Amino acid sequence: MRVNLLDFDRDGLIGHCTGLGEKPFRATQLFRWIHQRGAVDFSHMTDLAQTLRSKLSASAHVHALPVISQHDSADGTIKWLFDVGDGNAVESVFIPEDDRGTLCVSSQAGCAVGCRFCSTGHQGFSRNLSTGEILAQLWHAEHFLRHRQGSDERVISNVVMMGMGEPLQNYHALVPALRAMLDDHGYGISRRRLTVSTSGVVPMIDRLAQDCPVALAVSLHAPTDPLRDTLVPINRKYPLAELMQACLRYLDAAPRDFITFEYCMLDGVNDQPEHAQGLIDLMRHGAGRGVSAKFNLIPFNPFPASGLRRSQAHQVQAFAQCLQDQGFVTTVRKTRGDDIDAACGQLAGDVKDRTDVSKRMTRAPILITPSTPSHHDH
């Protein structure tokens, strides 16, 4: 079997190339061809020696993911559905804004965490994506967008691991993918513009701080353990006190940063004033000392099996104001790409597309401090 070169970060590619008897800088050239130029055909890589090109053709390929569908929204949002085999499909969403382009990337087909308000969670877990399948989403989106704009100028400035799956339950594939995204010879995404979102896999938060300290978003959704246990089942394994301690340790490793806490607003469940107050207490005292935090409130996107409702707009506003009054930068996510979600519901039923990533995603925050950047813009 030929290896997929998308499975490697640059160190991995250096390992592969030195195994073929090549110098490390050849691997860097190859890495640039693949990730910066979007090349798949070794015969186009004219600055590599013919002997290397034939060795590569025999042992390797650049295997992108087949695109099942692409939906373009009137607001510029694009959603791709990629085939990952065996009836599984994953989504990526591109969200253009004035000052940045954000790609939302999936890490697993399905998810084992099983959050009550999440359609991916309801779908169950199929399998982890490989490094190559994670990177292929960015590879495809970036080169499609460059081709469309007719120039080699970079389009995607921010990546958020907020598609399907729990990235920290696919750690071994995740880290090389993140490294390739950060690499100046790859996508050159800056550390603060690359966000891993997690439901709270405490030991892996610690490992990420050591191995690849990118921006961290924690999906909180509740200020107390009894409530969080019912919404985010992994809380039973890693309760709030442990999660907040892990957040502090993460910040100790990157002292000038903050953690973004995501909070899905569920009508009558977690959107009352006492919940806002609970969050404030948790941030100030939950870990013994204060955690440097921003909040991102996400109006719930309902789906039939959830039995939950979206909080009313005035409730979201009041909740945000409460956090804001206590000095916490708070943004409210606006849904993008509504018109393509309708199309998404009409997709072929034989693929397990029951996610709705674009509905979770944001445009610019519509609240609340005049100078507030969204959580993607660190």
Contact residues: ligand SF4, CB under 6 A: 111, 113-115, 118, 120-121, 165-166, 199, 219
CA angle in degrees (0–180, nearest 5) for 125-127-131: 135
199 binds ligand SAH (CB under 6 A): yes
Angle between helices 273-285 and 313-325 (to 10 degrees): 30
Residue 197 interacts with ligand SAH (CB under 6 A): yes or no: yes
CA dihedral 337, 339, 341, 347 (to 10 degrees): -130
The letter for the amino acid at 186 is G
Backbone angles phi, psi at 349, to 5 degrees: -75, -10
Looking at 258, 300, 319, 328, which residue binds ligand SAH (CB under 6 A)? 300
| 359, 300 Cβ separation under 8 angstroms | no
Stretch that binds ligand SAH, among 89-97, 135-143, 197-205, 287-295 (CB under 6 A): 197-205
- Locate 323 and state its tokens: 């956090």
How would you classify residue 121: left for phi > 0, otherwise alpha for psi between -120 and 50, otherwise beta?
alpha
Dist CA 54 CA 82 (whole Å): 30
With contacts defined by CB under 6 A, name the span among 18-26, 117-125, 320-328, 364-372 that binds ligand SAH. 117-125
Report d(CA 220, CA 295) in Å as an integer: 10
| Residue 34 vs 243, nearer CB to ligand SF4 | 243
Residue 4 or 301 with smaller CB distance to ligand SAH: 301
Residue 117 interacting with ligand SAH (CB under 6 A): yes
Question: Which residues fall within 8 angstroms of residue 373, CB to CB, at 6 or more apart?
Answer: 365
301 binds, among ligand SF4, ligand SAH, none (CB under 5 to 8 A by kind): ligand SAH
Residue 159 binds which one of ligand SAH, ligand SF4, none, with CB within 5 to 8 A depending on kind?
A: none
For residue 130, how many C-alpha atoms fall within 13 Å in the half-sphere facing its CB?
15
344 annotated active-site: yes
Query: Which residues, in sequence order, are CB contacts of 280 under 8 Å at separation 6+?
Result: 322, 323, 326, 328
Task: Name the DSSP class of 310.
Answer: B
Q: At its nearest, how many Å lie between ligand SAH and the CB of residue 118? A: 4
* Catalytic site residue from 17, 115, 118, 344: 344
Comparing CB distances to ligand SAH, the nearer of 36 and 137 is 137
Q: Which is nearer to ligand SF4, 111 or 212 (CB)?
A: 111
- Selected from 360, 363, 375, 376, the binder of ligand SAH by CB under 6 A is 360
Residue 301 interacting with ligand SAH (CB under 6 A): yes
Query: Strand, coil or helix: what is 185?
Result: coil
Point out the catalytic residue in the list 22, 91, 133, 142.
Answer: 91
With CB under 5 to 8 Å by kind, the binding choice for 271 among ligand SAH, ligand SF4, none is none
Give the total of residues touching ligand SAH (CB under 6 A): 15
Smallest separation (angstroms) from ligand SF4 to the CB of 225: 17
118 is a catalytic site residue: no
The size of the chain, in residues, is: 378
Q: Which residues bind ligand SAH (CB under 6 A)?
A: 117-119, 162, 166, 197-199, 219, 262, 264, 298, 300-301, 360
Q: Which residues are catalytic?
A: 91, 344
